Structure 1
Amino acid sequence: MPLAAGCDIAFGFGGALVGAIGVVPMFCAVMPVLHGTKRAGIGRGMASIVISFGFLMVAGGIAWMVIPKCFLTFTVGMVVGYFAMLALLTALALRRS
């Protein structure tokens, strides 16, 4: 299974997009706190992590059922997209503090 196959690249980018979307609940929890419109709370933060984790697990399960041959590529893309957006969120939080 060569890594540079066309379907692998497409599913890798698709996984990166899904991983980036998985960080959106955390953006929704952190950005109002950074703008000063809401106070930080453990409940809101934990709920955003649970929603993010649930979304990524459902997306990974669907990918495993639908594209089993390209699942590894999709998962690597998902992890890369997730960590890239998490690094962006961290940079935004550190810049505003």
Structure 2
Amino acid sequence: MAEEFAHDAANTRYTVTVDGEPAGFAEYAETTDGVLDFHHTVIDPAFRGRGLSGKLIAHALGEVRAAGKKIIPSCSAVERFIEKNPDQSDLVA
């Protein structure tokens, strides 16, 4: 199972594909001060149960950190990820 993660900046989302098939996304809105409000995460039902949500969020937050930005975890999946990974809490605006 080949998982690929990408930033689709044009559609303000991070995506995951599995074996070339779209499997899910974490969508955000950028605030006027450059903070990314992650408000919606979806994993296609056919790909659930594989831990893709956590992997996708981890990838997205890694890129946010590398860019020196902060987030608002409006999405419950992102909020739970931060709770389970307190080392990422410094990214919260």
Give TM class, smaller chain: 0.3 to 0.5
Which of the two has greater strand per residue? 2
Decide which structure has greater helix share: 1
User: Greater RCO between the two (CA within 8 Å, min separation 6)?
Assistant: 1
TM-score in terms of structure 1 length? 0.38
